[in-house]
Structure 1
Amino acid sequence: MYADDTAVLCAGNTIEVARERAQKAADALTRWARETKMKVSGEKTQLLVLSQQAKDAKDCRIKVAGNTVEAQETLHLLGVTLDRLLHFGPHCRRLRRKTRPRINQLRQLTGRSWGLGERLLRTVANGYIRGAIEHAAAAWLPAAATTHLGVLEVEMLTAARTITGCPISTPRHAVRAEAGVVPMAARRDALAARLLAKAHSLPPEDPLHAVAEAAPVPRLKSVTGWRDRGRAVWDRAGVELPVEARLATRPPPWTATENVTIRLDIGPLPIGATASMRRSAAEACLGALPQCATWAWTDGSATGGVTNGGAGVLIEHPDGTTEALREAAGKICSSYRAEMVALKTAVRHLLEHPPLEQDIIICSDSQASLATLRGGPAAQTSPLGAAIWEHMAALVAGGDRRVHLQWVPSHCELEGNERVDAIAKEAAALPQQGVPVDVRTVYRAASRMARKEAISNWPDGWYRRLMDGHLPAPLPSTTPREVAVDVHQLRAGHWSGSAQYLHRIGRNPGRDCAQCNSLTCRAAGCRCCGEEEADTPAHILLRCPALMRLRLRHLGNIHPSEEEVRGSGVVAALGAAARYLQSREAT
């Protein structure tokens, strides 16, 4: 028989008290193992002293199964290296050694003009590199010192340069934005906020819930953790208690679902169908459903898709009477969650006030919500989804009643959908105090806030003017690798096709100057138009006379603004034209 290892934490106001309690714990473990005919491996046991005083860790030892175990500088537990001060410097250095071979493998997958597409490169980097760095990161990353975060930041920047093809001289903020890599500080804040929300979603008797609610007086201002950092992130993101309790048990897979049908389409529609075409198809689909039924229209509303959620329900009875239900969905709320709250409100009301008709038809314009419910009762991972299925199962239990959930298109002047949309907007104005927020919404709100803060900290320069507070959208999957590299380099401001950039790094020496940073140097002049202005990305994209016709064709303006040339398609066309004008074929 074999058993896995265990960990014991013993605390005391002095090192002697803590050591004595650790010895008692070791003796108790050894005695229990002996009684159950198991053997404790004392030679594999580790001991770590957590103390701000270095002298406490000196000459500290205990006896385990006849073996002397001395205190070490670090301890490896569940994939995390702990140190005496819990600054996690050794752990960050260990992660650096672990990720460097992975980054080298990522380099082997792409080059300047060949290799995997950008979307696949991002997937590999996020799963293979960032996944290794963020193992159990919610527990240790909020407590790591800023200098140790810099060790991991260098590795993620290297991966970002591999994804984008940008040279090492490119500003860090531009490389991260082009590669879609979030700074480690932003990830730290988002993970801390999510762990705090998860702890609050646990039952009150859970030890982690008690830790989240505790408010001890900190002894050292320089020491932080997921609880304190998570609270600070919550304050900046506007998140407030309560947090929705996590789903304790899912509905059993044998829950009756025969009389519940969910449909996510209204029939075949051509690509680019107009609003009238979608409305006609929806009316034909709804007309095929039983008309002598109770109809419920649901909709969710959230300001900007992120705040002040409201759930609206319109119930139409066969006798012509209608009911309007409104419910607040939360101060921090996504459109998806508002739609789920609306569906729950509808089925709960129908369960509390059972209609006489056998058929109940619920119409919603949220494909995401219906797709989640379509997985069945046992596939639900949120309390909302489980509650909706529980109510629907109770509606159809013990009778011939049938429930049909039907997707309908939005913004096509479908009467029922337009009426419930107005009800949902009214519900968004209801008081939001006391409405619980779920863990996923907290995480997304913290991530948005962290991204906004990272963007606001961009230094003044070409990239900040070009993007104007926006993150670039990923390039289309069909973009060739060579074109994608040119797009990233031009937007980031360090283009390998620029004479000025090549002269600055010593690859394009002039007659009178071998290398300099001056934009007025003759060796830095634009080779496309032949003028004295340096061929910086701003010159290529905004002002180069040789590319006037192309800018006029794409943008309708020969002197566009930074906002107009931000898109990847325009940048790719101008970069390709500049490359062609510099080639031997053009000359």
Structure 2
Amino acid sequence: MRLWTWLRPFFCDDGLFWATGKYLHIARDKIRRALACLTAWCKETGFKFSVPKTYYIVFTRKRVRRDPVMFLCGSPITRQYHTKYLGMTFDSSLTWRLHILDLVERCKKPLALMRMIAGKRWGGDRQSLTLLYTSLIRSKIDYGSFLYATAADCHLIKVNRIQYAAIRIITGLMRCTPVGNLEAEANILPLHLRRDQLMLQYFGRVLRLENHPVTHLFNNFYNFAFYSSRPYALPVVGRAKELLTSSNMPLDNLEQIPLADLHFIGVPAVRYNLLANKKHFTNIQFRLQFHSLQDTLYSDYVPVFTDGSKMDGRTSFAFVVLDTVVAHRLPSSSSIFTAELYAIYRAVKHISLSDWVRVVIFSDSLSALQAIDSFSPKSHYMLKLQKLLALCDKEIVLEWVPAHVGIHGNDLADAAAKAAIQDDVVISIKLLYSDLRVLIRHFIFQCWQTNWSLSRCWLRRLKPILGDWKSAYRECRREEIVLSRLRAGTCLFMVQHRFDTSIPRDLCPSCDVYTNVFHILVRCPRLTVHRTGILAHLSANNLSQSVNNILGDDFPFSVLFTFLRNVAYFNRV
């Protein structure tokens, strides 16, 4: 038997092969035959393997009473109970405990770095700290995250605590702040949803390749009824299929990426003659330059104008050539980039069936033209377009023109695309992976929003719809922390007595009640005289005096900070 029927993925100088079986002796015999084949190949070619660096691991939940005996080139192979391959630590029971412990250890140094540059009154701002977290820490957490998602909750909570600690550094929130408020305040996706998102994106990428082994596993997986009664989670293929089915993703219409045939793909002629003056020319100058270009360089070319449009969740495309206008509405899941790219593709297809010899296609989509010019086909229509341009026996040039400067053909294509948005008939096109990613992000966000709407956190009253606080980014680090703590409902004056028993709990002298955010901002009559600025803004905008309006995203927080300084609470928050 040939060696390559046994040998599995190679990465540099690391290789592996595996075998499965209902009983250990079945898998053992398969591995022994593979080792015998490998030994024979070594004798034939003179190639040598390092036996001390070769080992095997038995993945099973059952007790192995006696270690299987394995030989490579006449030397015994040792058994290990955990191994590291491509950055993932596998243990014999696939509990992922060792991998998560190693991951937590590797995240401690970046966390310490964030603490060093983030103080309570100085240091990096919220945006910089968030960027540090996503690039230095979450990138480590993301690697293989949907694989170790089957780990027990007692292991996954250790990874969650890394994110909780990072968010507390970013926002300045206290350690006693309920964890339900943290991710919503920082607008950072919870890790269990992040793992689902990465899993869906991976399978969306893989399912475009018909011959990929994971595609075969996905298509042949069937979720039997008895799986629900098993004490352990589904494999990653089963979880992905279950989630993709429940999310109603249009996988049947997903683009298929064949192996590129380099004999047919040529270098497309894409020009940017007007791009150099994009920031300096007026509309009149652009029109004059365009007409000059058309009269000199493209005097004997047939002009074609393409455009795409997206409004109110609807997408359409159009192209105009001489007296012909072609415009259609596309599926709502299509992005504006897809519309622009598809418009160029349909225009080239129309040109290939005509008698014209020399044609210039004018498009105002710089991103679409640069994608075509990049010679790295990453989508279905880009590959088909490049192949069509190479096979077409006509001279076709793609030229960029600015939008909305009064170029007649471009304005006609723009008007036709906007009119096609109102069409009831939607033509069917292949779903690009970039558009599928948008659908996946939207689905994951809706899952987060649903969970958030059912929570009883204090912050949900202020932020019923998840999203980023525009007002959370301040020039002063102390103001960022004060605002975050007020919104989270956990401030130093409320909990300081828990950390230092010599400090009594903060008691309002006039109301004889324990203070909190609502009491300071709204309720306490002793502070009414200091609330004149707050009350003036609320009355001017016909808003009631409530915490929701005072801590909302549209409130002028300079007024709020002035109030807190006047009542000596700014430094106590």
Query: TM-score w.r.t. structure 2 length?
Result: 0.81
Deviations 1:284-330 (A, max 9, x none): 665555277524231133653xxxx643213141xxx23223263x4
Match of residue 8 from structure 2:
none
Contact 2:100–2:155 under 8 Å retained in 1: yes
Any residues of structure 2 matched to 1:144-155 within 5 Å, and which?
144-155=151-162
Structure 2 unaligned regions, length at least 5:
1-10
The answer to whether structure 1 residue 290 and structure 2 residue 299 are counterparts is no
3-state SS of paired residue (1:408): coil
2:379 & 2:219 partners in 1: Cα distance?
A: 23
Alignment equivalent of 2:95, drawn from 84, 87, 91 = 87
SS in 2 for 1:441: helix
C-alpha separation between the residues in 1 aligned to 2:559 and 2:125?
21
Distance across 2 between alignment mates of 1:394 and 1:571: 61
Match of 2:236 among 226, 229, 249: 226
Q: 1:470 to 1:182 in 2, by over 3 A?
A: closer
Query: SS at the partner of 2:520?
Result: coil
Instruction: Write out aligned runs for 1:247-286 (5 A).
Output: 248-249=259-260, 255-256=266-267, 260-261=271-272, 263=274, 267-268=278-279
1:549 aligns with 2:533: yes
Paired position in structure 1 for 2:477: 481
Given the alignment of the two structures, is residue 62 of structure 1 paired with residue 67 of structure 2, yes or no? no
Aligned match of 1:529: none
Contact 1:313–1:423 (CA<8 Å) still a contact in 2? Answer: no
**Within 1, Cα distance between the matches of 2:294 and 2:263?**
30
> Does residue 8 of structure 1 match 2:25?
no
Residue 421 of structure 2 corresponds to residue 425 of structure 1: yes
1:314 match: secondary structure: strand
Letter in 1 for 2:368: S
Choose 419-428 or 284-293, whichever is displaced more. Answer: 284-293
State which of 195, 198, 203 in structure 2 corresponds to 1:191.
198
What is the alpha-carbon distance in structure 1 between the residues aligned to residue 81 and residue 569 of structure 2? 63
- Supply the AA of the counterpart residue of 2:479: V
Amino acid at match of 1:360: V
Equivalent position SS for 1:403: strand
3-state secondary structure, aligned to 1:535: helix
Match of 1:312 in 2: 317
**C-alpha separation in 2, matches of 1:60 and 1:544:** 80
Query: SS of 1:534's equivalent?
Result: helix
1:73 equivalenced with 2:84 (yes/no): no
215-224 or 482-491, which deviates more:
215-224
Over residues 496-520 of structure 1, what are the superposed CA-to-partner deviations in whole Å (9 max), with x where a residue is unaligned? Answer: 4xx335457658945xxx4799x97
Give the Cα separation in 2 of the matches to 1:243 and 1:120: 37
Question: Structure 1, residues 393-415: CA drift from partner, whole Å, max 9, x if none?
Answer: 667x765x643222314999984
Q: How does 1:372-411 map to 2 (within 5 A)?
A: 372-373=371-372, 376-391=373-388, 399=395, 402-409=397-404
Give the Å deviation of 1:454. 1.6
SS in 1 for 2:316: strand
Alpha carbons of 1:555 and 1:57: their partners in 2 closer, same or farther (altered >3 Å)?
A: farther
In the alignment, is the contact (CA less than 8 A) between 1:463 and 1:492 conserved in 2? yes
- What is the DSSP-based 3-state SS (H/G/I as helix, E as strand, rest coil) of the residue aligned with 2:272? strand
Q: Which residue does 1:323 correspond to in 2? A: 325
The equivalent of 1:530 in structure 2 is: none
Give the CA RMSD over aligned residues: 4.1
Tell me how far apart the structure 2 counterparts of residues 492 and 56 of structure 1 sit (CA, whole Å): 52
Report the TM-score, using the length of structure 1 for normalisation.
Answer: 0.79
Q: Could you tell me how far 1:389 is from its partner in structure 2?
A: 4.4
* 2:327 partner SS: strand
Counterpart pick for 2:217 among 211, 217, 220: 211
CA contact (8 A) 1:361 1:403 kept: yes
Q: 1:349 to 1:482 in 2, by over 3 A?
A: farther
Paired residue type of 1:312 = F
8 A contact 2:199–2:240 mirrored in 1: yes
**Quick one: which amino acid aligns to residue 339 of structure 2?**
A
1:20 is aligned, of 29, 32, 37, to: 29
In structure 2, relative to structure 1, the CA distance for the partners of 1:368 and 1:428 (3 Å cut) is farther
SS at match of 1:290: helix
**1:183 positional shift:** 1.0
Unaligned runs of 5+ in 1: 271-277, 527-532
Q: Tell me the CA shift for residue 81 of structure 1.
A: 1.4
Indicate the larger mover: 377-386 or 40-49.
Answer: 377-386
Residues of 2 paired with 1:143 and 1:289: CA distance? 61
> Contact 1:114–1:481 at 8 Å: present in 2 too?
yes
- Aligned identity (percent) is 17
Could you tell me how far 1:92 is from its partner in structure 2? 1.7
1:64 to 1:149, Cα distance in 2 relative to 1, 3 A: same
CA deviation map 1:450-498 (0-9, x unaligned): 22212321212431121121312466877232222223222222234xx
Equivalent residue, structure 2, for 1:300: 309
Q: State how far apart, in whole Å, the 2-side matches of 1:562 and 1:265 are.
A: 52
